[in-house]
Homo-oligomer: A and B are copies of this chain.
Amino acid sequence: MSADLERVGQAAKNAAVSAAKLTAAEKDRVLNQCAEALESNSEHILKENNCDLESAEGIKESFRDRLRLSASRVKSMADGLRQVAALPDPTNEAVSMKNLPNGLAVIQKRVPMGVIAVIYEARPNVTADAFGLCFKAGSSVILRGGKEAIRSNTAIAQVFRDVLAANGLNPDMVQIMTDTSHETARKLMRLNGYIDLLIPRGGAGLIRSAVENSSIPVIETGVGNCHIFMDESADINKAVPIIINAKTQRPGVCNAVEKLLIHERIAAEYLPVIAAALREKGVELRGDKRAVSLVPDVIPAAEEDWHAEYADLIIAIKVVADIDEAIEHIRTYSSNHSEAVITENYTNAQRFLNEVDSAAVYVNASTRFTDGGEFGFGAEIGISTQKLHARGPMGLKELTSTKYIIYGNGQIRL
């Protein structure tokens, strides 16, 4: 363990002790001040962001776009902090309470996680989002953003540190790792004893690296190979808008649909209609042999297509014999993020909901709804695709832990 990293970990652990003691009112006041301070330091942040953009010449435009800040993006970050301030404090509620026969009162209480580390890529807005949520949840946070965004991230975090210090609070409640090497990231992933939770936010490679290398508990987020199964009894008037919405409303995100499975009894009639609607939105169509035979301009799909998260205007289509084959296909290839069935058949709707083992399973609705904001959580830190601790959109509650507190009166165990 490197001494520098241990210092960061120890500082975060000390700050977590103070963070856990803050009242909801204190936290909300600080968050609102941080929002103000972001806006009043907008010019400086944009200047630093510009330096990042200049250093990052030669990178592709989509990456540049994620890295780029503007006055309105800074304002969005500030508004995000204000929204988090307005949410209820997730800590200190009783999850359960019971009196044992011997008179002990056992209360399971929601408490802060402690120290949370977030490893992310190009988006500087994650710096503000992650700080806001972790701070509101009573934890300190160690942020390790991508090297391309280091000046932007440092400027944003410094704004928060200054506000914390001005309030007499420990600024180490938020720390930015300025060493952005992969080696240091891997060491951070093994800082047991200091960090309670690691959240990787980014592409599949980053997530995989965290899952494989971390000895700290990780929450796996965000990879979405989402499916829609159009059952024999599907209503075409629901199916077309749902498929178009799930594929094209925002194709780059993890809850966009990537695969369409269609029942063989309706494929000949409906697939041409759906293909035409998708094509009109500029979607590239790939498919299995039967899809290709029904819609001539469908490109033959390879095995890797069924595994792929395109995050782009591409969809792969497979004609299936029945709901069993659809569920089996999803079981084999899905990343278990979000799947939908379009059906008017009650039994098939229930079977799909019960047997598809994904974080969010829909009947007759777009997969695009898998989102903390849409689910009414107010904000989200990511979408968990694992089964431990949190599954699906993670709001403030998912950033907390619990502990048992027990009020006794001299009880001993017999």
Task: Identify the A interface with B (CB < 8 A).
Answer: 17, 20-21, 98, 100, 104, 106, 108, 111, 113-114, 190, 192, 196-197, 211-212, 215, 217-219, 235, 237-238, 241-242, 244-246, 249, 331, 340, 353-355, 357-366, 368-370, 374-376, 386-389, 391-392, 401-413
Residue contact B388 to A217, C-beta cutoff 8 Å: yes
Residue contact B401 to A369, C-beta cutoff 8 Å: no
Count this chain's copies in the assembly.
Answer: 2
* Interchain CA distance A245-B414 in the complex, whole Å: 9
Residue contact B211 to A360, C-beta cutoff 8 Å: no
Query: A344 → chain B, closest Cβ, in Å?
Result: 11
Chain B residues with CB below 8 A from A375, complex form: 100, 106, 404
Residue contact B411 to A365, C-beta cutoff 8 Å: yes
Q: Which of B21, B215, B354, B386 contacts A211 (CB 8 A)?
A: B215
Query: A248 → chain B, closest Cβ, in Å?
Result: 11
Chain B residues with CB below 8 A from A409, complex form: 238, 364-365
Known: A403-B358, A403-B359, A404-B360. A196 touches B410 (CB 8 A): no
* Interchain CA distance A386-B411 in the complex, whole Å: 26
Known A217-B218, A241-B410, A245-B413; 20 more pairs at CB < 8 Å: A100-B375, A108-B392, A217-B386, A217-B388, A242-B410, A245-B412, A340-B408, A359-B403, A361-B403, A364-B411, A365-B406, A365-B412, A366-B408, A366-B411, A369-B406, A369-B413, A370-B404, A388-B401, A391-B402, A392-B402
Residue contact A403 to B392, C-beta cutoff 8 Å: yes
| CB<8 Å pairs between A and B, sample of 18 | A20-B357, A21-B354, A196-B386, A197-B387, A211-B215, A235-B410, A241-B410, A242-B410, A340-B408, A359-B403, A361-B406, A362-B406, A362-B408, A364-B408, A364-B410, A366-B412, A388-B389, A392-B404
Chain B residues with CB below 8 A from A196, complex form: 386-388
Query: A397 → chain B, closest Cβ, in Å?
Result: 10
Chain B residues with CB below 8 A from A403, complex form: 357-361, 391-392
Residue contact B405 to A361, C-beta cutoff 8 Å: yes
Query: A409 → chain B, closest Cβ, in Å?
Result: 6
Residue contact B404 to A355, C-beta cutoff 8 Å: no
- Smallest Cβ-Cβ distance to A212: which chain B residue: B215
* Interchain CA distance A370-B106 in the complex, whole Å: 10
- Smallest Cβ-Cβ distance to A410: which chain B residue: B238
Known: A411-B369, A413-B366. A331 touches B405 (CB 8 A): no
- Smallest Cβ-Cβ distance to A108: which chain B residue: B392
Chain B residues with CB below 8 A from A219, complex form: 388
